Structure 1
Amino acid sequence: MPSASKPAHDADRAALVEAARRSIARGSKSFAAASRLFDRETRERAWLLYAWCRACDDIVDGQDHGHGMTAVADAEARVARAAELTERALAGEPTGEMPFEALRRFVVETGMPARYPRDLIAGFALDAEEWRPRSEADLYRYCYHVAGSVGCMMAIAMGVAPDDEATLDRACDLGLAFQLSNIARDVEEDDRVGRCYLPVEWLVEMDMPPGQHMKPPFRSRLTVLARRLATQAAAFEASARAGTPALPFRSAWAVLSAAGIYGEIGREVAARGDHAWDHRVTVSAAHKLRHIAWAGWQAGGRERLYPEAPRDPELWVRPR
């Protein structure tokens, strides 16, 4: 809830919201389009949260609004700086930096637990340590830290209670789906900066030496793993869709739109097969509009389309 001393729409907040809006417009056209479907309060809170997430990612990866990722020599120091500013914001202390002021305002308005921002920072720390997943469970743990935690924070932005674990599980599932699709799409881009998120056990299974997975002789085997990622992304996406009856109509519409848009990425990677990395997979503006329109129909009938049912017990569960 907004504090009495900080009205929800005071001048400081309006300036933060506008700066956050510009940040999302530069950093993610897909997210910016989906966020327009929220009611005003939720949309603005989503922008505030995005500004902080984007800034942390940029600090750690030496990039500008998600563009121009490079290998950095001081990754651990960069994570430490993002963590320090985040902790100051969580403590309600001024930071002097817009994205962290956005987080501070977001926490005041929503009562979001500190664990979720800290979990995201822990994901950045894994990258700074040049961590690699050994098992499939390791992969999901990483995806939780860098994306599932964001799904939980976005759900709180939509008004989900911080103790509504069942709905937060579904929100986490959507973040996992997004990240698995991104990993499948960005295998080549990640390889250029020395990263690989394919579990070592998967590489061993495919008889691909670590660090050699982008070599032409292994392309067909890499395709098998990319399709596995897309299949798992689809399973988490389906679980996330089943959580939309717990959301207001406009929030459900935005979630289902984003699910369709990002889901297309994973499906397209799988469909391209060995040519998935010849050109970066993107979703056209026409297809985004189609997903948004279709999601509106789905949101209107979400109770019928996604009747209440237990979450698939075979899916990985986020840490409590």
Structure 2
Amino acid sequence: MGFEYALVHLKYTIPPAVLLTLLYRPLFTKLDAYKIAVVATIPWDSYLIRNRIWSYPTHVIVGPKLFEIPLEEVFFFVVQTYNTSLLYLILSKPTFQPVYLQAGRGASRREWRYSRFVGQVLLLAFILGLPWTNTVLPIILPTLYLWGVDTLALRRGTWVISTGTKYGVHLWDGLEIEEALFFLITNMLIVFGQLAFDNALAVLYTFPKLFANPPLLPSPAILIRALLTPCSEYDDARLTGLKEAVHRLQRKSRSFYLASSTFPGLLRTDLLLLYSFCRVADDLVDNASTAREARDWIAKLHDFLDNVYSNTKSRPSVLEHIRSHFPADAQSALLQLPVAKLSPEPLRDLLHGFEMDLAFNTAPVIETEEDLRLYSERVAGTVAQMCIQLIFHLYPSNLTTEEQRKIVAAGNRMGVALQYINIARDVCVDAQIGRVYLPSKWLAEVGLTYNAVIDHPQEGRIESLRIRLLENAFSLYEKARGAIEQLPPEASGPIRVAVESYMEIGRTLRQGGFSLKAGRATVPKWRRVMVAWRTLNE
């Protein structure tokens, strides 16, 4: 009996497991635990040991065995699977897998019938399309590490490959080629298993027409059905909407894009589609060449909401209206808006906020602090309300209707706080387009006028008003943040990340000395990541 193999675990496999666990613990879900399988390699290892292909000297192991496998070896396969899987989960978390699905455009059922014999035909295309951080890196990093550990173990005789069962070829001195291939292939199996699982989840959660109300913890049978679903049955319009939504998010809101990666799959999809609609609607109005054109777009958006929430309008007529009244690059955002999960009032209020923006063309809009609050409720508080509606739709809770109403109201206040941060950040940018969101009464108190801010947005007296606005923002934030903890646990952590990522901009503004990018204060990516990780660990 000996402890040398056990010491290998204490020195080389358990420490990275602890480190990876600490890194991923705030994001770990029941679904993640479901994905990490640990028994697939046990029959394989038992066969190799029984046939003396490799062995473990009695003086290096404690003694107990399972199917002829020393317990240290059983634990090795458990910890290898765990470590490689966790590394994959960490590296793939930012990736929104549904946008890498490939639809079988124009393919007939006959052309796709063979996919059921080999898994999904385009699984390989899905894998190849993913970023290398999702595929190559989680295979190579643990393989290189285990090659180093294996080299030390073989040199010390912790385990031995029988002479008659090996070619005698070494990857380098001390590492048999068979061992090197073994670790490479097992890590590939682990990662490819995770990729197949994620491919199935992407199909399951992306196409409600194929899988209505999918369970949050799907059974193996449902996952296999999703994985084997012919690509010809994919909803191409749905995929287009998701891809365009992700592209808009990456270009227009880096903070929210980072935060969105912490949301569970189904909720992340709905939030991306909601953001896509809000962004497109805002751009249609802001990018209009004349005030009249902007008013026309707002009217068309009101008509769109009337149609989608009407009990008399058919789906084909709604589609026809969208295609005939909106530009091609905006249609997917309207078509994929999850209206069945949202009430119409926040969406209409959002359009009223656009109308307030449009009024800047004739006169200052924000005269008082109450005007500022109303505007912020319409353009930002409504978005927070809709996010919470989506959460309660996906994760039913035991809260009463009144308790849920209070949480939605707190969400509205938090949205106002975030909009105040946005206004404080963008004083110079807004001035360039002829807008000042600081209340005119505030300006008068420090001897400034609306036009003075337009002409000199970096005037020293403006800084005191920026700080005043930030103080209001943080006051609202402190009053509303407790409501986040009453949300379902699957959503409360990610919502905290979304809020704190934006509030970090406010903290940067209060500290002063911030850097500008395109006229806006920015927070470095590393700092946003640290804020997200710290927030999830609270």
TM norm structure 2: 0.49
Q: 1:89–1:101: 8 Å Cα contact kept in structure 2?
A: no
Pair 1:143–1:74, CA change in 2 (3 A): same
Name structure 1 gaps, 5 residues minimum: 64-69, 299-320
Q: How far apart in 1 are the matches of 2:415 and 2:406?
A: 15
Deviation at 1:117, TM superposition (A): 0.3
Q: How far apart in 2 are the matches of 1:200 and 1:134?
A: 5
**Correspondence 1:7 to 2:212:** yes
Q: How far apart in 2 are the matches of 1:250 and 1:283?
A: 27
Q: Which residue of 2 aligns with 1:43?
A: 268
Q: Which amino acid aligns with 1:107?
A: V
Deviation at 1:264, TM superposition (A): 1.7
**Correspondence 1:99 to 2:318:** no
Q: 2:431–2:457: 8 Å Cα contact kept in structure 1?
A: no
Q: Which residue of 2 aligns with 1:312?
A: none
Pair 1:241–1:217, CA change in 2 (3 A): closer
Q: Which residue of 2 aligns with 1:84?
A: 303
Aligned length: 287
Deviation at 1:79, TM superposition (A): 1.9
Pair 1:145–1:6, CA change in 2 (3 A): farther
Q: 2:249–2:257: 8 Å Cα contact kept in structure 1?
A: yes
Deviating beyond 4 angstroms after TM superposition, the runs of 4 or more aligned structure 1 residues are 2-6, 70-73, 160-163, 214-218, 273-279
Q: How far apart in 1 are the matches of 2:272 and 2:515?
A: 35
User: For 1:123-134, what aligned pairs fall within 5 Å after superposition?
Assistant: 123-130=353-360, 132-134=365-367
User: For 1:210-249, what aligned pairs fall within 5 Å after superposition?
Assistant: 210-213=450-453, 219-249=459-489
Q: How far apart in 1 are the matches of 2:520 and 2:458?
A: 19
Deviation at 1:4, TM superposition (A): 8.1
Pair 1:217–1:235, CA change in 2 (3 A): closer
Q: 1:220–1:274: 8 Å Cα contact kept in structure 2?
A: no
TM-superposition CA deviations, 1:279-304 (whole Å, max 9, x none): 52011110111111011112xxxxxx
**Correspondence 1:157 to 2:387:** no
Of structures 1 and 2, the larger Rg is shown by 2
Q: How far apart in 2 are the matches of 1:203 and 1:138?
A: 14
Q: Which residue of 2 aligns with 1:310?
A: none
Pair 1:276–1:211, CA change in 2 (3 A): farther
Q: 1:120–1:145: 8 Å Cα contact kept in structure 2?
A: yes
Deviation at 1:35, TM superposition (A): 1.0
Higher relative contact order (Cα pairs below 8 Å, separated by 6+ residues): 1
**Correspondence 1:146 to 2:379:** yes
Q: 1:223–1:274: 8 Å Cα contact kept in structure 2?
A: no
Deviation at 1:75, TM superposition (A): 2.3
Q: Which amino acid aligns with 2:249?
A: I
Q: Which amino acid aligns with 2:378?
A: H
**Correspondence 1:177 to 2:417:** yes
Deviation at 1:214, TM superposition (A): 5.3
Report the 3-state secondary structure (helix = DSSP H, G, I; strand = E; otherwise coil) of the residue aligned with 1:86. Answer: helix
Q: 1:59–1:82: 8 Å Cα contact kept in structure 2?
A: no
Q: Which amino acid aligns with 1:11?
A: Y
**Correspondence 1:286 to 2:505:** no
Q: 2:431–2:455: 8 Å Cα contact kept in structure 1?
A: no
> Which of 256, 280, 283 is the equivalent residue of 1:31?
256
Q: How far apart in 1 are the matches of 2:263 and 2:518?
A: 35
Q: How far apart in 1 are the matches of 2:533 and 2:514?
A: 31
Deviation at 1:17, TM superposition (A): 3.1
Q: Which residue of 2 aligns with 1:306?
A: none
Q: 1:86–1:100: 8 Å Cα contact kept in structure 2?
A: no
Deviation at 1:82, TM superposition (A): 2.7
Moved more, 78-87 or 279-288: 78-87
> Which of 166, 171, 192 is the equivalent residue of 2:432?
192
Q: Which residue of 2 aligns with 1:137?
A: 370
Q: Which amino acid aligns with 1:114?
A: P
Pair 1:262–1:71, CA change in 2 (3 A): farther
Moved more, 88-97 or 245-254: 88-97
Deviation at 1:277, TM superposition (A): 9.7
Q: How far apart in 1 are the matches of 2:475 and 2:285?
A: 30
Pair 1:293–1:5, CA change in 2 (3 A): closer
TM-superposition CA deviations, 1:217-236 (whole Å, max 9, x none): 98232111100111111112
Q: How far apart in 1 are the matches of 2:344 and 2:303?
A: 13
Deviation at 1:57, TM superposition (A): 0.7
**Correspondence 1:59 to 2:293:** no
Q: 2:427–2:436: 8 Å Cα contact kept in structure 1?
A: yes
Deviation at 1:254, TM superposition (A): 1.7
Q: 1:171–1:243: 8 Å Cα contact kept in structure 2?
A: yes
- The root-mean-square deviation of aligned C-alpha atoms, in Å, is 2.9
Q: Which amino acid aligns with 1:285?
A: K
Deviation at 1:190, TM superposition (A): 0.7
Deviation at 1:86, TM superposition (A): 3.3
Deviation at 1:59, TM superposition (A): 0.3
Report the 3-state secondary structure (helix = DSSP H, G, I; strand = E; otherwise coil) of the residue aligned with 2:521. Answer: coil
